A and B are shown apart, each in its own frame.
Chain A
Amino acid sequence: MKFKKMSDIIFDVLVYFIAVVAFVITLYPFLYIFSVSLSDLDAINRGEVRFLPVGFDFSGYKEVLTDKNIWVAYGNTIFYVVVGTTCNMFMTIFGAYALSRKTFGMRRFFNFFISFTMYFSGGLIPTYLLITNLGLYNTRLVMILPVMISTYNMMICRSAFSAVPDEMMESASIEGANDIHILTMIYVRLITPTLVVLILYYAVGHWNTFFNAMLYLKDDHLQPLQVLLRRVLIQSSQELLMDSLTVEQEKRALVSIQIRYAAIIVSTLPILMVYPFLQKYFISGIMLGAVKG
């Protein structure tokens, strides 16, 4: 009896240890970035910033928020997110609804037709040449049209529609409703939680898109945030420092790191703010995708 208690205590200690380690490892980088982005430059230089901000210096944010390029990129990203996600949702719902209807002719063929694209694609170069030939190169449309549907997301949506009992649809069609009525007035409302998850997935996808933008957009005024962030964070370009030529040389490196961390906060905050509110939908969303529809 005593042995059992001892082993259960060890077990609990282990469980809480794993949980605390996981949560420290996940959160610490965010906390550190946040703290450096706000701390006094001298304190950063002396290595005093470990957890919470030391002193206060808003100049990193001032540089980021007064930079014209950031605002252009931010606006572009918001445009791609809003327009892109709207198109995504319409197309996904249309396709998923049709494929979930058991009476839909050639349903098996169409299901194969879309699943095949998850196994095989033309690859980078043929796709690149096609998109260029279609005249989409260096246009805003290239950020929206080629990624209008995620097959995986459409399958999640299809599973959700399939789970709606057939009686719903039968009673509605006896009343004289056609498929459009049934879809917009009944089905869409019944699967709202799934649709919320899909909106989140698509929106985060657009927000984080980097590769397509780098590949197909040449002009700066079309570039989304992630391409600018790459220059600032990874290639360590000093472009956000252009206005502050007055800053002395030695301080520049410090200001530069503060600017970079401020840029991370500014560009990531919207996502981090929204997602805890949607957390309760995740599990159903992922589970639906894992089960064959």
Chain B
Amino acid sequence: MEKKVLKKRLLKAARRDKYLYLLFFPVFVYYIVFCYLPIPGVVLAFKEFKLGSGIYGGSWIGLDNFKLFFSSVYSYRIIRNTILLSVYTLLFGFPIPILFAVAVTQIRHKNFRRFVQTCSYLPHFISTVVLVGIMKNFFAVDSSGLVNNIIIKLGGTRINFFMDPSWFRTLYVGSGIWQGFGFSSIIYISAIAGIDPSLYESAQVDGITKFKEVWYITLPSIIPTIIILFILQLGRIMSVGFEKVFLMYNPAMYETSDIISTFVYRRGIENSDYSYSTAVGLFNSLINFTLVFGSNALCRRLTNTSLW
């Protein structure tokens, strides 16, 4: 009897929500095909890939690919490069949007403030190709390079920025800050806008200086936002995007610029070494999974908020 009632209720719910299922169906199919179907493909990491026998054919080779990778000279280099790029980006790139947000919200001329804000978002929307294109031309070694012309005027000698491995990280991090600081500041600006104005009013009655206002009211109010974003960035420390590095680097700069994702691309797509590069990619995915999951859980515990 109870089962019948339950069945009836389920049927009723299904009839009521039939349009919801209809709407969700294509979304479901998308996720299955393009997000879930590739996942079993990671078994390739433990197999020998043979043309013609497909992903799931070939014989098992166990952990051979992983052993090969970790005993090679590349493993240390690309893991170090990946982490260092993230760490430098975090170290230099993280405080700047906060500083910018605090400064911008203190501007009293409303139009000037909006103008500065609007300009600061601009670089976010240009493509990576154009960004790297601008960089390569500005930092070109010949007389067309703006930066080298300035160096010459100041009495220096030309620097071949894009052939010298020691410049790669500076260029990568610097251009990242240029492209991202304005857009990253939005979240802080709205956090600052959400601060209760009566806090400032009572502080002004007490005759507090503006430096102290920022130090004792503004910054403490946005500390939760800062912590969340910092932890979430930490979680992405091993997932440096492929595109920008790929467009910037060349064999002369591999020493500092080759990262896990570019290595996987070269070995996998360019050399068709599918099995080996799947193993390297899987190693990276597993670490990312752990880091992102962990940082997200930490965030949820600390502040009751998380990105998803």
Contacts and interface: CB of A to CB of B under 8 A. Distances in A.
A124 B281 contact: yes
Interface string A123-167: 111111110011000000000011011011001000000000000
Interface in B134-157: 134, 136-138, 142-144, 146, 149
A260 B137 contact: yes
B187 A126 contact: no
Interface string B31-50: 10111111111101000000
Contacts of A16: 107
Contact of B107 (A15, A264, A289): A15
B292 A119 contact: yes
A286 B182 CA distance: 13
Given A124-B269, A126-B42, A204-B125, A23 B120 contact: yes
B212 to A, nearest CB: 9
B136 to A, nearest CB: 6
A232 B130 CA distance: 10
Given A117-B31, A120-B39, A230-B129, A22 B137 contact: no
- The 7 lowest CB-CB distance pairs between A and B, nearest first, are A126-B41, A233-B133, A122-B38, A208-B127, A123-B281, A95-B27, A179-B19
A223 to B, nearest CB: 12
Residue of B30, B282, B306 most packed against chain A (CB within 10 A): B30
A91 B30 contact: yes
Contacts of A71: none
B135 to A, nearest CB: 9
A120 B285 contact: yes
A264 B278 CA distance: 36
Given A15-B106, A19-B107, A110 B137 contact: no
Contact of A91 (B26, B104, B138): B26
B13 interface: yes
Interface string A273-289: 00110010011001101
A104 interface: yes
A105 interface: yes
A229 B130 contact: yes
Given A125-B44, A234-B129, A115 B144 contact: no
Residue of B116, B127, B278 most packed against chain A (CB within 10 A): B127
B38 A126 contact: yes
Contacts of A275: 121-122, 125
A104 B127 CA distance: 39
Interface in A203-234: 204, 207-208, 210-211, 215, 226, 229-230, 232-234
A264 B134 CA distance: 8
Contact of A211 (B112, B132, B242): B242
Interface stretch (B70-78, B87-95, B260-268): B260-268
A211 B243 contact: yes
Contacts of A55: none
A124 B55 CA distance: 14
A134 B38 CA distance: 12
A11 B210 contact: yes
B221 interface: no
B256 interface: no
B128 A23 contact: no
B252 interface: no
A191 interface: no
A47 to B, nearest CB: 6
Interface residues of B, number: 97
A183 interface: yes
B128 A210 contact: yes
Interface stretch (A25-33, A57-65, A239-247): A25-33
B126 interface: yes
Contacts of B146: 32
Q: In the complex, which range does the number of interface residues on chain A fall in? A: 35 or more
29 contacts: A11-B210, A15-B106, A22-B120, A26-B120, A94-B24, A94-B26, A97-B23, A98-B21, A98-B24, A104-B17, A113-B31, A120-B288, A123-B264, A124-B268, A124-B277, A125-B278, A126-B41, A130-B41, A145-B34, A148-B34, A149-B30, A151-B308, A210-B127, A229-B130, A233-B134, A233-B137, A275-B121, A286-B186, A290-B305
Given A114-B27, A234-B132, 15 more contacts: A11-B211, A12-B210, A14-B103, A117-B35, A123-B264, A125-B281, A127-B34, A130-B34, A183-B23, A210-B247, A229-B130, A253-B144, A264-B130, A272-B125, A283-B186
Given A120-B39, A122-B38, A229 B31 contact: no
A268 B308 CA distance: 32
B126 A268 contact: yes
A249 interface: no
B308 A287 contact: no
A111 B186 CA distance: 27
Given A208-B127, A260-B133, A292-B308, A121 B20 contact: no
B5 interface: no
A162 to B, nearest CB: 13
A207 B130 CA distance: 12
Contact of B122 (A30, A126, A257): A30
B129 A287 contact: no
Contacts of B116: 19, 22-23
B10 to A, nearest CB: 8
